[in-house]
Structure 1
Amino acid sequence: MIWQKIVCVLIGYVFGLFQTGFIIGKMKHIDIRDYGSGNSGTTNAMRTLGKKDGFITFFGDALKAVFAMMLTYFLFRNGVCKDHMFIIALYTGIGAILGHNFPFYMNFKGGKGIAASAGLIFALAFFDWKFLALGFCTFFIALIITKYVSFSSLCLMTGFFIEFIVWGQLGMVHNLESQDKVEAYILVGFLTVLSYIRHKENIKRLINGTERKIGQKKEA
């Protein structure tokens, strides 16, 4: 299954190259990376382009991971991969996140991958609904309490990693074959570490108390 996994990462990467916020910005004759935090993700799009375009950016970036995973599902649902579709989905989602974070045509300067990760978690709900339910609760409870999008995003990814291992060890992840468990843990762990790396500046501001809360004006 090595070549199938490589193909999945490549397909995901190609889908991830669709930079919703960057494209919307170009339609308005600006490069979103020249404003705010300098990335092309949802939060910067919302602050730079407005709430409407921010929501469009989120759904566009999330759906590209979903569509990529749907494509690889139909490509590999039969044959040698038919009993390993969960791990196939993970590789595809990782590819989409890498394409979103590191688009080659933008000098590898993309977003932070949270919307694409949310799309991955949403797509995994077709295998096991628990990931979407707990992920939704984790993000929005953290957001309501702290008002920090970055902190809530990290809570989402950390919670996803922890619940994945706990449910995996308890045999509660549907469609995840036992021989794929360790590999799946490593992949989800990689995504979690990557989210922290991409949010390193946010983490510094959170520690220093200078991170902007949702709805907070820049000079407040």
Structure 2
Amino acid sequence: MLQRIIICLIVGYLCGCFSTSYFIGKANNIDIRKYGSGNAGTTNALRTLGMKAGALTLLGDALKAIIPILIVSFLVFQNRADVSLLALYTGLGVVLGHNFPFWLNFKGGKGIAATGGVMLAFDWRLGLVAFIVFSVSVAVTRYVSVGSLLISLLFPVAVLVFYPGNIHMLVISFLFTILAFVKHRANIQRLMKGTENKLGQKIKIEDK
């Protein structure tokens, strides 16, 4: 079991290291980590490079979680009783790779788009609920960080509801929440001070 977990974490991590926004930024002749929040993720791509870049980053970061989880679930370990747990470990590896890519000096994104991809590939019900919660919370508050933190909190709650009694799975899902809150420390501080950027605010590259 331990060997399979390690394999899933490594495969997930390597997939997660594909930094979509970094490559999109390079295609636009910038290092996105030097603009806006300095975060290599969807929100910063949206604010810095516009709607198309933000959408492509969201898609790329979600797919890099969805694809390896589907491969693990339906090809590699499809007949194992612990396949769902292994899929969850794969997703955890993806988020770790996204947040801390070795080839970018461990400076990546905050892992929310990847976490959304994990939830969707792991159990479509979790993905659907996460999408609704994120969309409604961002529409009401105009804070992407609020929606991001809410879906990270939703993950272990949903696992508790849909997979009652599976403590191992619950613990792993809670790690996604911890990672999200750690990466959103600055956002939480700005939310408390009322200085957090709202959705729609853009960064002018020429000002940097």
> What band does the TM-score fall into relative to the shorter chain?
over 0.9
Quote how far apart the aligned CAs of 1:217 are: 5.0
Quote how far apart the aligned CAs of 1:49 are: 1.1
Matches within 5 A, 1:114-125: 114-125=112-123
Return the TM-score normalized by structure 2: 0.94
| SS across alignment from 1:37 | coil
The answer to whether the aligner puts 1:200 opposite 2:201 as a matched pair is no
Aligned 8 A contact 1:142 1:151 in 2: yes
| Correspondent of 1:166 among 141, 148, 161 | 161
Aligned 8 A contact 2:69 2:122 in 1: no
2:19 maps to what in 1? 19
Q: Could you give the per-residue CA deviations for residues 144-187 of structure 1, whole angstroms, max 9, x where no partner exists? A: 11010001110111122222213333xxxxxxxx6xx1111110
Structure 1: gaps of 5 or more residues: 170-177
Quote how far apart the aligned CAs of 1:122 are: 1.0
Q: Which amino acid aligns with 1:203?
A: I
1:58 maps to what in 2? 58
Q: Could you give the per-residue CA deviations for residues 20-40 of structure 1, whole angstroms, max 9, x where no partner exists? A: 000011112110000000011
Structure 2: gaps of 5 or more residues: none
Q: Could you give the per-residue CA deviations for residues 82-115 of structure 1, whole angstroms, max 9, x where no partner exists? A: 1111101100000000000000010000000001
The answer to whether the aligner puts 1:100 opposite 2:101 as a matched pair is no
| SS across alignment from 2:163 | helix
> Residues 217 and 29 of structure 1: is their aligned pair in 2 closer, same or farther, counting only changes over 3 Å?
closer
Aligned 8 A contact 2:36 2:203 in 1: no
Aligned 8 A contact 1:147 1:213 in 2: yes
Identity of aligned residues (%): 44
The answer to whether the aligner puts 1:83 opposite 2:81 as a matched pair is yes
Return the TM-score normalized by structure 1: 0.89
1:130 maps to what in 2? 125
**Whole-angstrom distance in 2 between the partners of 1:25 and 1:133:** 30
Q: How many residues align?
A: 203
The answer to whether the aligner puts 1:157 opposite 2:152 as a matched pair is yes
**Whole-angstrom distance in 2 between the partners of 1:86 and 1:160:** 14
Q: Which amino acid aligns with 2:181?
A: Y
Aligned 8 A contact 1:212 1:218 in 2: no
Aligned 8 A contact 1:65 1:120 in 2: yes
**Whole-angstrom distance in 2 between the partners of 1:17 and 1:122:** 19
| SS across alignment from 2:106 | coil
Q: Which amino acid aligns with 1:110?
A: G
